[in-house]
Structure 1
Amino acid sequence: MRKYFFFFLFSFLIDGFVSAQSREVLTIREYGTKNAGNIINEFAEFLSFPNVAANPAGQQQTAAFLMTMMSKRGIQKVQLLNASTAGAPPAVYGEVIVPGAKQTLIFYAHYDGQPVNPAQWAKGLDPFQPKLFSKAIDKGGLPIPFPTDGSYTNDWRIYARGAADDKAGVDAILNAYDAIRKSKLTPGCNLKFFFEGEEEAGSPHLNEILEKYRSLLQSDLWIICDGPVHQSGKKQIVFGVRGDTHLDLTVYASKRPLHSGHYGNWAPNPAMMLAKLLASMKDENGRVTIKGFYDDVIPLSPSERKALEEVPSVDTQMEKELGISAVEMQGVTLSEAINQPSLNINGMQSGNVGKMASNQIPTFATAVLDLRLVLGNDWKRQQQKVIDHIKAQGYYITDSEPTDNEREKYAKIIKVIPGQDGINAQRTSMDLPIIQKVIAAVKATSKEQIVLQPTMGGSLPLFLFEKYLNAKTVTVPIANHDNNQHAENENIRIGNLFDGIETMASLMLIK
């Protein structure tokens, strides 16, 4: 386990300078090497608790085990923070007050996970029975037993739901504090821990918890541990997240399915109508053509533009890894693309395909649109832009099944159901003094470049922390980029888990 530990130490000594924080990181690394067996055994037990919303009992067990993990590490005031709405999954809270500390950091991760379909997982895998593999399954990895001597290799992987998203984040945070405590080090700031229980459901009650416990949750900065490191394998710090909202669209035609021979070329086909409507929303270069779609975007600052220019390109790597030979927005890198608002088709359905296909004209066609937002966009306003575009294409818009009267009156009918749980984007300035300390702390854990990413491609409800607590946030992810989060065969690379412990510990040592 951690084969490069002594090389890392030797390299620093050759350089002739080892900062105080770097020396402390080496101490944390050595702790991880010596205690890998206990860390992994506890993590595997943590992963065994079903933590999906459809299993409230499993969620309760997960939260209870998490509280035990915190209490045995000497974390104080361990408690559940309940929303005002009865039955909502609670957040788990604890704190460590450091005498003389001048700053307070809150570490955030979530203990809930995405739903699972065990039939889609690789043969022999149970989403809640963690299994160790010699490497990634799709790279030929084979199942191996958890070693009894605590000796682990960085490229081994643990497969289980939540292994990466986000029990790895919870585990890294708690073991970082444990490593500091047992190594006789002292955190440089007050520490608070906040583990949410319904992030994967869109955090519908997070606002209630933040408002209800406003005084308890005061801090100088929230550190969010969720998501993957950069695709290059380098550690990254992310200063913002995109917002997100959805629209459900259903185009209607004939009241009953029709024989495509008897009525083809005469009766309107809703699948074709929907395809044309969706195609009208983007040009050939992937640019959204909806009026005003980009108008309210707040441009990146000079520091953010400079950071974006320095992000290592992984476009060729990802094209090969994903089996694609062209990208949607020509001349735009992946890092640039995720700093722009997007319109994505999550799925489409009309009639049947494959063995169930029949020669028919279907009665309806439906699609779900996913809108990712950047700073300046408002999710309701962005939805309305799409609705206005649909109207401009000649559609009559309804929010229910069309009546016979509406069918007689309008040639093009669409039902539009806007999502009611959208979230706006959030971004924290790189130039803040506390953020500069965060950058320095993460840099102390690696001799490689630390990627500074203005915006994460994914979405988190971080704007709520600004709205209810007037708080700043920064995201420091730890999972491997190919972790299959939200899908079958979710996994965490062992090296990423222990790198995450070091990173979180270095942040806790900020003064």
Structure 2
Amino acid sequence: MQEQVIQYLKDHREEHLNQLKEFLAIPSISALSEHHDDVVKAAEWVKEDLLNSGFNQAEVMPSDGKPVVYGEVIKNPNAPTVLIYGHYDVQPVDPVELWESEPFDATIRDDKLYARGATDDKGQVFMHMKVMEAVLKTVDTPPVNFKVLIEGEEEIGSPTLPKFCEEHQEMLAADLIVVSDSALIEKGKPTITYGLRGLAGIQIDVKGAKGDLHSGEYGGGVMNPIHALVKILDSFRDENNKILVDGFYDQIPELSEEERKALADVPFNEEQLRQDLDVPELTGEEGYSYVERTSVRPTLEINGIYGGFQGEGIKTVLPSEAAAKITCRLVPDQDPEKIVEQLTKHVEKNTPKGVNVSVTPFDKGKPYVTPFDHPVIQTAAKAYEKVYNEETAYIRGGGSIPIVAELDRILQVPVVLMGFGLPDENLHAPNEHFHLENFDKGMETLAHYWFMLENVK
């Protein structure tokens, strides 16, 4: 029966691409208040498309933030129920002058679809919508029951969705959750992301004198906040890139030999990456491979640092304040609240005399991992391999999708991350795009997956 579904997708490909262009034309930027109406418009668009696809229920539901789209079609009481999660909001487009075509006027060049949201995440959400449409239009009894949860705040950290999910647990109940908001490790290589790192961020503000001081008159006699900040930042890591925050590594379990082997089998050319990035060498925590450093080990990175005169030339000033922004990527079983507490204590312990320092927490998200030998993940790998004719790689994502850990905690069912993007598709950057090869193969993969799940226990 999946052959009928796949043929439907092929027969309607151009129609579907035009619909996707309509969806991408809506500038649903959740971070900018002036796009509030566009966010609502995108939610309504998703609802209407689900109803047109054959869903017997689809609605735009209020939350404490942006609206949530929920839909379901339950036709087979003996089949598993799949909850598909995604988001319809997108990142801002700045700097817009670097776009080669208008960011909300989807354009196809070299078999790639260029637009904001093309790969993150409208394009991948849309694939699910069209595969569900194809199933409902061609099969009397679908192999699975479908529920969808499409939100409008993922790009700002999904601040209100956990509460929404807790309040609607019965409505969202399912046997598994499928998320397509990730990427293949390389072109043509099917990839299951079975884990994601968590996130903990702080801002460090260092305050010295009540105002900027002349560096000739006061230099050497008053602590410079930039010097103090540099000392604090330098105290975070040793020469081998080990993080020196007390207790930082305490909750991290050792990787199993099976998992280390799976990561070692991930095809990856470090030298090619070094050349692509144009850096003298790749560095990181001693004793771990690049793949391990960027997926299963925690990090501490300085994301921004500022203070003093930034203009052209020089201004002999001793600034009154300086600041830095830091984020840590976390792995199981690190708790972001505890990490922020440890970071704060470290800053206080390493603050030089002569300045006042404050620490402000911000972004937080828990890490997530599903055993990659779980039957629903292994079945997803087989669906990929049926279409791509390549063995599936199993990776942990280096980035964070905080809501995934929350969905796991609240609904307590396995989460399968089946991404179809590619790492170089400029998500969050100018000229974001989506390879149409994966648009086609991805939908075919999903079609096979739904039918293969019928026999999974």
Distance in 2 (CA, whole Å) between partners of 1:284 and 1:107 is 44
Question: Is it true that 1:63 corresponds to 2:15 in the alignment?
Answer: no
1:475 maps to 2:417 = yes
What SS does structure 2 have at the residue aligned with 1:462?
helix
2:263 aligned with 1:320: no
* 2:348 maps to which of 391, 395, 416: 391
Q: Which residue of 1 aligns with 2:429?
A: 487
Could you tell me which residue of structure 2 aligns to residue 332 of structure 1?
288
Task: Decide whether the 8 Å contact of 2:76 with 2:143 is kept in 1.
Answer: no
Residues 303 and 430 in structure 1, CA contact (< 8 A), matched pair in contact too: no
- Structure 1 residue runs of 5 or longer lacking an equivalent are 1-22, 135-155, 396-409
The aligned residue for residue 107 of structure 1 is: 84
Residue 130, structure 1, aligned to residue 73, structure 2: no
| One-letter amino acid matched to 1:340 | R
Is 1:76 aligned to residue 56 of structure 2?
yes
SS in 2 for 1:308: helix
Q: What code does the residue aligned with 1:131 have?
A: T
Partner of 2:168 in structure 1? 213
How far 1:121 moved relative to its partner? 3.1
Relative to structure 1, is the Cα distance of residues 169 and 192 closer, same or farther in structure 2, using a 3 angstrom cutoff?
Answer: same
Q: Is residue 231–residue 314 contact of structure 1 (8 Å, CA) maintained in 2?
A: no
Contact 1:168 1:479 in 2 (8 A): no
In structure 2, the CA distance between the partners of 1:325 and 1:362, relative to structure 1 (3 Å rule), is: same
Gaps of 5+ in 2: none
Distance 2:280 2:6 in 1: 40
1:466 to 396, 408, 424: 408
Alpha-carbon deviation of 1:63?
Answer: 0.8
RMSD of aligned C-alpha atoms?
A: 2.2
Whether the aligned pair in 2 keeps the contact of 1:90 and 1:197 (CA below 8 Å) is yes
Partners in 2 of 1:192 and 1:101 — Cα distance? 15
Any idea what SS the aligned residue of 2:171 has?
coil
Q: Which deviates the most, 246-255 or 56-65?
A: 246-255
CA–CA separation in structure 2 for the residues paired with 1:260 and 1:213? 60
Query: C-alpha distance in 2, partners of 1:493/1:185?
Result: 32
CA distance in 1, matches of 2:360, 2:77: 54
Structure 1 position 47 matched with structure 2 position 47: no
Distance 1:164 1:51 in 2: 14
Q: Is 1:247–1:370's contact at 8 Å kept on the other side of the alignment?
A: yes
Alignment of 1:432-447 (within 5 A): 432-447=374-389
| Alignment TM-score, normalising by the size of structure 1 | 0.82
- Give matches, 1:131-150, under 5 Å: 131-134=107-110
Alignment of 1:160-171 (within 5 A): 160-171=115-126
Distance 1:173 1:313, change over 3 A: same
Q: Cα–Cα, structure 1 residues 354 and 212, in superposed 2: closer, same or farther, change >3 Å?
A: same
Pairing 1:369–2:346 present: no
Moved more, 441-450 or 296-305: 296-305
The residue type equivalent to 2:48 in the other structure is: T
2:358 to 415, 428, 438: 415
Which of the numbers 218, 224, 239 marks the counterpart of 2:179? 224
Identical positions, percent: 30
Change (3 A) 1:315 1:382: same
Q: Within the alignment, does 1:503 sit opposite 2:457 as a pair?
A: no
- Deviates further, 157-166 or 296-305: 296-305
User: 1:105-133 CA deviation, whole Å, 9 max, x = no partner?
Assistant: 1111110111232534325x322222222
Q: Report the CA distance shift for 1:267/1:159 in structure 2 as closer, same or farther (over 3 A).
A: same
Instruction: Give 1:347's aligned amino acid.
Output: G
In 1, Cα distance between equivalents of 2:442 and 2:450:
12
Greater CA deviation, 66-75 or 225-234? Answer: 225-234
DSSP-derived class of the 1:38 partner: helix
